[in-house]
Amino acid sequence: MCPTCHTTLDQSDAPAAQRIKHFIAQRIDQCATAGQIKSELVANFGAAILAAPPHKGLDLLAWWLPIAGLLGGALLLAFGVWRWSRSRVPEPEPPLDPETDARVDEVLAEWE
């Protein structure tokens, strides 16, 4: 990352970014590995120079929290859908008590 403009080096033409690109090119010419170059940059500029956080310690949260959030959201959504679909099934009505049943029969008989 460009330390002054906080974009990736390939997107930045800031003087600081240009110097870092030059440093990386120099180290590649000297056959330094990607790991070595990254370590040297971190030693020089701190971990914020990396575009992605390392896979260790508290930085792991940056990798796993979004996944946990997505999974949690999906579970909540699934639970909500399940509850909604259950609430739409009409429950069977309880049978009428014999007295009311007889009264209904009487009324119906009057109409017929």
Partner 1 sequence: MTRALQATALVAVAGLFVLLVWRLTHQSHPPKIGGPAPAFTAKRLIGSGTIDLASLRGKPVVLNFFASWCEPCKAEAKVLEDAARQYGNRVVFLGVDYHDVTGDGRRFLSAHDITYPTVQDGSGMIGDRYGLTGVPETYFIDARGRLVGEHIKGTVAHQQHAFFDGIKAALKP
The DSSP letter of residue 64 is H
Taking CB under 8 A as the rule, does residue 46 contact partner 1?
yes
Helices (H), 1-112: 15-29, 34-45, 60-87, 98-111
Question: Which range of residues in 43-51, 52-60, 85-93, 96-104 is near partner 1 by CB under 8 A?
Answer: 43-51
Relative orientation angle of helices 15-29 and 34-45, to the nearest 10 degrees: 140
Question: Which range of residues in 39-47, 54-62, 85-93, 95-103 is near partner 1 by CB under 8 A?
Answer: 39-47
Give the residue with the Cβ less far from partner 1, 65 or 96.
Answer: 65
Q: Which of 51, 76, 81, 104 touches partner 1 by CB under 8 A?
A: 76
Phi, psi of 60 (to 5 degrees): -60, -30
For residues 18 to 37, the per-residue mask of contacts with partner 1, x marking binding by CB under 8 A and - elsewhere, is xxx--x--------------
Cα separation values, 65 from 48, 49, 52, 72, Å: 19, 21, 14, 10
Taking CB under 8 A as the rule, does residue 16 contact partner 1?
yes
The angle subtended at Cα 35 by Cα 31 and Cα 37, nearest 5°, is 60
What is the binding site for partner 1 (CB under 8 A)? 3-4, 15-16, 18-20, 23, 44-46, 48, 76, 79, 83
